[in-house]
Structure 1
Amino acid sequence: MVLISFGIIAMIVLNVMSNASPSFSKLGRIGYLVGFVLIVLGVISSCFVQITAGSVGVQSLFGKIQGKVLTEGLNVVNPIMSVIKFDVKTQNYTMSAVHDEGDQSGDDAIRVLSADGLEVVLDLTVLYRVTSDKAPTILRTIGEDYTQVVVRPIVRTKIRDLAANYDAVALYSSKREEFQQRLFTAVDKEFSKRGFSLEQVLIRNLNLPQSVKAAIESKINAEQESQKMRFVLDKERQEADRKRVEAQGISDYQRILTSTLTDKLLQYEKIKAQKELAGSPNAKIIIMDGKNTPMIMTGN
């Protein structure tokens, strides 16, 4: 369209100049030729539109949206058509309490009330993309600013609706995955109706009131202390079992030994020991009556 405009302007200007002065008549004919060439080149270039990878083109003729979608590559179009390009790659929309981290400046976290009436603050990222063949419908019914018209309000509304079914502590701990999955299902249903494909809903952070956090931390500490005490008790119980088995073994050994030590065996062991002592060169034997054991004295 730029070349066409330049061509028309060149023809008009040079035509005015040739009419104003006969000396410009030849220049006027050249101007007509140049203008005509520019217009032809402009028309030809307007017949071709290049769509980059990850995008589609939606055609509009005098404000009326056409149903045909232009895919990536070089496309031949009506030169008087205007083409609006749509990004169909994965996009993310973040709502965060951290300044300038989300798509809007300032604190943009989602504040919801849980089933037990506590305020829960969530940071969230939504990954989605425009469905290629739905781009004309999106442009016709929603417009190009679909993040503010559809994505943001739907996500925030669904989070508030679902969070009301959970206690704050459950959202923070045991029910977090379930909540995230139910949120994905609810948002995906609404997105599909409007020509968007939801890929992921990511709960990046979930903050509870300070009093609830303190209660949760106290409970976790108590559970850890309880586990520690159970470990100590188990260890002491195992040690007691070990000592019991050891004592039983000693008792059994003593009982068996006692039952095998007869008087004759003891007498034999005594005589055997005396015989070994008697063989010593420094030993002296004192003979006593038969009721007592002979006394053996050793010396240098």
Structure 2
Amino acid sequence: MKKKFIYLIALVVLSSSCAVVRPGEAGVKQTLGKFSKTISTQGTIFYNPFTSRVIKESTQTNNIKLILSLPTKEGLSVNSEISILYRLEQDKIPSILENLGQGYESIITSVFRSASSDVCAQFYAKDMHSGMRAKIEEEIKAKMLVNLEKQADGIELIAVLMKSIQLPRGLASSIEQKLQAEQDAMRMEFIIQQAKLEADRKIIEATAERDSQKILAEGLTEEIIKLRSIEAFNKLSQSPNSKVIITDGKAPLLINE
């Protein structure tokens, strides 16, 4: 019975003195407050539970979600859902934990708030609801990278995404009306362009017809007209139908009986 008790205690101590690091994680041993430079990425880490502990951090891409009110150039406030994608550089995890602790996400959030306020204040509210959004996101990211290098070296910023942007009601309505007006103007421009093309086509056809008539008129000399009259009389003479031909000798006029 005593041996079983000893084995049980030994099992409890052994289980509490090891940590399992799974794929996508990195484990760092902290002994008496000092972080080890050795980083474990997979497997089991044994340690003395009385003097040490193992801190595990994700090495995968992480997402911080925020809902903020962002300032604009005209002094309005635009509500937006924000996603900050980041990843910890594996070899710098001990340094991050030593300098920032495990609350490093609060540093990333603070850096974002500062950078987004500075950048968004340079753009109009309508820009956040248009193709300018990608430019705003890139400028926020660039400004965050500068600040993170000073405060939190080892945090890799992947992207800053602005989602579900909610403009002030009056401004949203104005933007919709403007977009509708632009679409109507584009539609009218298309109609006018089609009408111009149709007018050009008719002018070209009329010009071609006029030139054709002119060429034909210039080619109809008296000799040709007489020749055509003779040919017409010959064809009429071969017709079995009886006809009355009235002519002045220049051009025939046919009357059906």
Q: TM-score, normalised by structure 1?
A: 0.70
| DSSP 3-state at the match of 1:142 | helix
Equivalent residues in 2 for 1:268-283, closer than 5 Å: 268-280=227-239, 283=242
Is the 8 Å Cα contact of residues 57 and 84 (structure 1) preserved in structure 2? yes
Give the match for residue 83 of structure 2.
Answer: 125
Give the match for residue 66 of structure 1.
Answer: 35
Whose strand fraction is larger, Structure 1's or Structure 2's?
A: 2
* 1:223 and 2:182 matched: yes
| DSSP 3-state at the match of 2:144 | helix
Match of 1:182 among 139, 154, 165: 139
User: Any idea what the Cα deviations from partners look like across 1:90-144, whole Å, max 9, x if unmatched?
Assistant: 211112xxxxxxxxxxxxx210221111111111111112333443344444333
| DSSP 3-state at the match of 1:199 | strand
Report deviation, 1:225: 1.8
| DSSP 3-state at the match of 1:143 | helix
Q: Rg larger in 1 or in 2?
A: 1
Indicate the percent of aligned positions where both proteins have the same amino acid.
29
Cα distance in 1, alignment partners of residues 227 and 59 from structure 2: 105
Report deviation, 1:82: 2.2
Structure 1 residue ranges without an equivalent (≥5): 1-29, 96-108
Cα distance in 2, alignment partners of residues 158 and 55 from structure 1: 29
Report deviation, 1:58: 3.0
Cα distance in 1, alignment partners of residues 156 and 256 from structure 2: 107
Equivalent residues in 2 for 1:85-164, closer than 5 Å: 85-95=56-66, 109-147=67-105, 149-164=106-121
- Structure 1 residues 230 and 130: CA distance shift in structure 2, 3 A: same
Cα distance in 1, alignment partners of residues 132 and 245 from structure 2: 94
Match of 2:208 among 235, 241, 249: 249
Cα distance in 2, alignment partners of residues 140 and 69 from structure 1: 14
Is the 8 Å Cα contact of residues 277 and 296 (structure 1) preserved in structure 2? no
* 1:207 and 2:176 matched: no
Match of 2:198 among 239, 249, 253: 239
- Structure 1 residues 111 and 286: CA distance shift in structure 2, 3 A: closer
Cα distance in 2, alignment partners of residues 56 and 119 from structure 1: 40
Report deviation, 1:180: 0.6
| DSSP 3-state at the match of 1:276 | helix
Give the match for residue 18 of structure 1.
Answer: none
Report deviation, 1:183: 0.9
User: Any idea what the Cα deviations from partners look like across 1:172-226, whole Å, max 9, x if unmatched?
Assistant: 3243222111111222333343242222211123222122222222222222222
Paired letter, 1:187: M
Paired letter, 1:178: K
* Larger relative contact order (CA 8 Å, sep ≥ 6): 2
Cα distance in 2, alignment partners of residues 291 and 51 from structure 1: 117
Is the 8 Å Cα contact of residues 278 and 284 (structure 1) preserved in structure 2? no
| DSSP 3-state at the match of 2:112 | helix
* 1:262 and 2:221 matched: yes
Tell me the number of residue pairs that the alignment of Structure 1 and Structure 2 aligns. Answer: 253
User: Any idea what the Cα deviations from partners look like across 1:207-259, whole Å, max 9, x if unmatched?
Assistant: 22122222222222222222222222222222222111211121122222222
Give the match for residue 26 of structure 1.
Answer: none
Cα distance in 1, alignment partners of residues 35 and 252 from structure 2: 131
Structure 2 residue ranges without an equivalent (≥5): none
Is the 8 Å Cα contact of residues 65 and 136 (structure 1) preserved in structure 2? no
Report deviation, 1:287: 9.5
